[in-house]
Every structure is written in structure tokens, then in C-alpha cells.
Amino acid sequence: MSSRTVINHGYCAVLILGVVFMLFGALDGWAEEAFPGKTVVVIGTGTIPGQNVETAKNQAVAVALAAAVETVMASQIPLQTRIDEFEVLDTYFYGNSEKYVQDFKVMAQFESNRYYRVLVQVSVDEGLICKQLAGLGIASMPHDAVEILFLISERNIDDAAPRRWWLSDSVEPPNVTEQEMGKKMAAMGLRVVDHEKPLGAVVENAMGEAIDIDDERAIAIGRGLNADVVVVGKSEAVWVPNTMGAELRSFQAVLTARALRIDSGTRIAATDQAFVSVSQERIDGGRKALAGVGVLAAGDLARQIISSWAPVSAQENKVQIIVRGTHQLGRFVKFRKMLKDIPGVKAVGLREIRSNEAVLEVVFEGTSDALAQALMLRAYSDFGINISETGTNRMVVDLVAGGTPVIREEILTSHPDG
């Protein structure tokens, strides 16, 4: 069911439609450029100052573009995170939305009393949003290290049988579906396992004499190739009886897939997608459709994987870090990103932000003293840190201009965490 949300922005009101879909395949190719990202349809409203309708129209379009970016970003992080991180998100997203807009089209517009409204179709760079969220340390799970292996059988028009790269006697051309799925997932911050090299006993031991692949065999292959998640599925292109003129025809590809977590053997994601392309040539039309459905499925699966991913926990502590000197927002963002990269840090959450001070909650495999020592071993480009206090699961860090990290000597020896 579609949902509608009204957002007030100055004199403007935005009505966000719950209409999210992907663009159909372009006529001039099936490469990644033909599938620019997630497309949303939104309504923007502007107030007409005096008789200046053009100003109101521009205002309405700008508000619609910002709403489109917010809609896509909201699908990547939960509401509570958006509340906790509002100041940072405002700086990097809400106040800079044009950076994430790839293209837009005003589909309808009208003037009503003092208001001007537009219906806008916006293509948003979902991959760039994912990378920015990860770079800011806001992504809720450390998914950027997850290795994905694809086991997708593919059947294009006129293929006698599905192509399965994992069969030991299989010599096949590149799998279009997997190629496009890999590009999309990589753009969303996941890593893709390269299986183009000879696999030898890995596949033979997993498959035996079997042709079809089940969850157990898929997990065995994934484990042999050091993957964290294996995506299993099948895609098929068919000829749709739609024509335009004597030559142009429609083609549809369908794909069903599931994602399995290697360490637990559990199913963490599933998708069922379809995509229609047009072409004058059968094989080309099928390849366009297979590429398009691969992008759709990969985006859907990646969102589910990122949402569900959590590393197998060891002994973890929640360490509160009071960070002072946050009026230089750039320093604070860099500090949080660096903090998230420290081995043993599983999550970094922003719990409170005040004038020139913020409170972080860090899930860490170790004590606060161990975390303080790890912080001291990091190099900072244009600022330094001063760790002025540490205690049981607590520390105070000052962000200072230039210089090198400083930690008071008595802190290192006076009170190990108990």
C-alpha cells in the first residue's frame, strides 16, 4: 500500500508518494549506465511570491529533489538513526541534495491560488548515498567487509539450457545477470567474490554428480571460496508479444534469488523481480532484460543483507566516549570514521549532541583502556586528540587543532577497567 508523508520546509510542503520503481531498459545499451539508480516520484510545493510563478516552480522542484534524496536515504538507515544523526545528515544530505540527484523530469505541474505544485520523477544515486553513509560512520552495520558470491543460473532467448558457471565441464560466455548484480552490490558497499579463476575441487566436492544447486551445496561452495554470503538463484529472458512497427519488440526477464549466510547457514534475504526491455534483435533484447533484472534484484538483496548483517559477537563492551571540540564538524566526522575502522569496534552510535560536545556509544571487543590505546596509535591528518579522562567503559576525548595524540600518563596505569 502506498504511503504519504507531509514534510514542512520553510514555506514549502512536500508530499512524498510511496511510489518507488526502477527505470525500464534504455534502447542504446544494457551497460550499468542504463540503470542509473533508484527512481522515485515525489510532489513538491512552492509558494508564489507576488506574481513570480517561475520562482515558485523552481522552489517546488528543489524541494521535490530534496524529498527524493531523503526517501532513498531513509531506505538505508532506520528512523532512530536519522533522529540521532540529524545534524550530520542535514549537513551532508538535506542541505546538499543536488549531489545525489542524477536526473529528473517534471511530469506534471499546476498553479493553485498562492501555490505551485510539481510532480517530479527523480533518479537518485543510491550507491553514492550508501558510500557517503558508510564514510560518515552512520551505516548501522559494518557491511562493507561482507564478501558476496553469486550462483545465478541464466537462460537467454534461444539458449537450449540454463548456463551454470559452477559446473566443472561448463565453458560459458560471461553471465550478464551476475555482472550487473555485482556492479550494483559493489556500488552499495558490498564486496563481490571473483570466481573467474579455476575452482577445481571446491565445486566438484560440493556438487558431486548433481546439476541443480541446493542451499547445502551453495554454502559449501561459498565456504570454499571464503565468501560470507552466497546468493543463489536463476534468471530467464522470454519474448513478450509487444511490438512497435515492424522491428521493435519487447523482452522480459524474471529472476528469483535468495541470500544465505555462510557461518550460520540461514537465509537472510530473498527477492523476485521482473524487468522489460525493447530491442530490434532477440539476443540483445534478452541481454538487456537480464541486465536490468539483475540490477533490480541486487539492489533489493543488498538492502536486506545490509539490514540483517551483524558479525558473530565475541565478548563486547559498550564504551561511552564524550567528544569535545565538535564545533568543527569535519573533524568530528573524520574521528568517527577512524573510530569505526579500529579492529574490535563493532558499532558506533551517536547518543547525544550538544554545543561543541557529543556523546558516542561504541561497541568494542575489549576495555576502554584498550580502546584508548588503539586511538593513540592512529594518525590524524589535520587535527589531534587529547584523551583527558578514562574510566570503566568511559573516556573523554578532546579534538584539537594540529599536533599529535596526547594521553595523560597516569591514565595508562592508574585504573584498568574492571
DSSP string, 268-291: EEEEEEEEEEEESSHHHHHHHHHH
The pLDDT value given to residue 174 = 59
pLDDT at 297 over 90: yes
12-16, 91-95, 270-274, 368-372, range with the lowest pLDDT: 12-16
Q: What pLDDT shows up at residue 296?
A: 92
H helices of 136-228, in order, are 176-187, 201-207, 215-224
| 118, β-bridge pairs | 44, 109
Distance CA(386)–CA(367), nearest Å, equals 18
Element (H, E) at 330: helix 329-340
pLDDT digits (tens, 9 = 90+) for 383-396: 888 888 877 788 99
Mean pLDDT confidence for 3-32: 32
Backbone phi, psi, residue 77, to 5°: -135, 150
Range in 135-139, 152-156, 213-217 with the lowest mean pLDDT: 135-139
Q: Are 44 and 62 in contact (CB under 8 A)?
A: yes
Most confident range (mean pLDDT) of 6-20, 33-47, 341-355, 401-415 is 341-355
Picking from 12-21, 189-198, 207-216, which range would have the lowest pLDDT averaged per residue?
12-21
Q: Decide: 118 and 12 in contact? Cβ < 8 Å.
A: no
- Domains in the chain, start-ordered, CATH in brackets? 4-135 (3.30.1660.40), 143-308 (3.40.50.10610), 317-414 (3.30.70)
From the list 238, 161, 164, 156, the residue with the least C-alpha distance to 195 is 164
Interatomic CA distance for residues 133 and 127, integer angstroms: 10
Buried residues in 349-370 as b, exposed as e (16+ CB within 10 A): bbeebeeeebebbbebbbbbbb
Q: Is 158 exposed, middle or buried (0-12, 13-18, 19+ CB in 10 A)?
A: exposed
Higher pLDDT, 316 or 79: 79
pLDDT in tens, 235-290: 999 988 766 666 788 999 999 999 998 877 888 889 999 999 988 888 899 999 99
Residue 380's pLDDT is 72
Provide the edge-to-edge strand list for the sheet that holds 147-155: 191-192, 147-155, 229-244, 248-261, 267-279
More confident residue, 173 or 364: 364
Alpha helices in 85-161, H assignment, sequence order: 86-89, 126-135
Look at residue 47 and tell me whether its pLDDT is greater than 80.
Answer: yes
Q: What is the mean pLDDT of residues 67-76?
A: 84
Residue 302 half-sphere exposure toward CB, CA atoms < 13 A = 27
Integer CA distances (angstroms), 307 to 2, 71, 302, in order:
22, 16, 8
pLDDT of 106 strictly over 50? yes
User: What's the confidence (pLDDT) of residue 258?
Assistant: 93
Distance, CA of 267 to CA of 259 (rounded, Å): 6
